[in-house]
Amino acid sequence: MAIAATIPSAQFEGLRPVDGQGLKKKTVEPILKTENLWKLYRAGKVEVPALRGVNFSVAPGESVAVMGPSGCGKSTLLYTIGGLASASRGTVLVDGNDLAQMSDAERTKLRRSKIGFVFQRFNLLPTMTAKGNIAIAQYIHGDGFDPHRFDVVTKLLGLEGRLSHKPSEMSGGEQQRVAIARAIINEPKILLADEPTGNLDTKNSDVVLEMLRQLNKELGQTIVMITHNPEAVTYFDRVVHMRDGVIVDGVPAD
């Protein structure tokens, strides 16, 4: 099913936050903040710093693109702020919760309720249909299947005709839309995207980027995205550059 590059604004009805939460407010606390964040990996007897004292913050409703050469620590930053990896030093505040002080179980619980991930390789469960891949996120969240929310999100992303198909039966663009649906189905505070257009052609890349932009503009979804694509940055409020485990520019003046 062909999907328009722009989703009509009316389709966001039923998804918009009622009280204005999530919309960009410069006066509120950052929804994401790292202070002197270090991440060290051990390679044999040597400690390799992937992040070296990163100070980074994102306001609620903001969309930020993180760019940098391969190996600069972009993915490590994403996984650390998403709670998939633990910080070696420093603080990682997500919606007021310091991930650096949490156990793996506590970070998992926080990730379940507040963070959505979109990956470059889609990372859909190959044995499940599109519907199953999206519904399992609701099941893990613990509230069970919400058919209304499911219908709204799948319709928003133009997936109605593909729900019974497995990932192997879908194009890259469709798979990534399923991945985005899975990431936002539980209304996360932050959407973290690790090069979501890395495996897509130009046309599908534009579609996905436009979807992310509209999620941010219409729903106030806070988005942090890693990308190598210079053209992608035009879809985001702010661009942050990293090199050798540190942010070299783009830190907000808050």
Interacting residues with other proteins (CB under 8 A): 79, 82, 84-85, 105, 108-109, 111-113, 115, 117, 119, 123-128, 132, 135-137, 139-141, 145, 182
How many whole angstroms separate alpha carbon 27 and alpha carbon 114?
21
* β-strands 89-94, 97-98 pairing: antiparallel
Which residue's structure tokens are 């693109």?
65
Nearer to other proteins, 140 or 248 (CB): 140
Would you say 149 or 182 has its CB closer to other proteins?
A: 182
Between 44 and 126, CB nearer to other proteins: 126
Query: What is the closest distance, in whole angstroms, from the C-beta atom of residue 237 to other proteins in the complex?
Result: 25
Alpha-carbon distance of 220 to 181, in angstroms, equals 16
Q: Which two tokens stand for residue 126?
A: 């190959």
Question: What are the Cα distances from residue 234, in Å, to 40, 212, 230?
Answer: 32, 12, 8
Q: How far apart are CA 169 and CA 156, in angstroms?
A: 21
Min dist. Cβ of residue 185 to other proteins (A): 10
By three-state DSSP, how is residue 90 classified? strand
State the nearest-atom distance from the C-beta of 20 to other proteins, in Å. Answer: 26
Of 75 and 229, CB closest to other proteins: 75
Name the residue type at position 52. Answer: R
- The minimum distance between CB 210 and other proteins, in angstroms, equals 24
Q: Which is nearer to other proteins, 13 or 104 (CB)?
A: 104
Which is closer to other proteins, CB of 93 or CB of 110?
110
CB 248 within 8 A of CB 215: no
Chain mean position to CA 102: 21
CB of 124 to other proteins, least distance (A): 8
What is residue 37's three-state secondary structure?
strand
CB of 145 to other proteins, least distance (A): 7
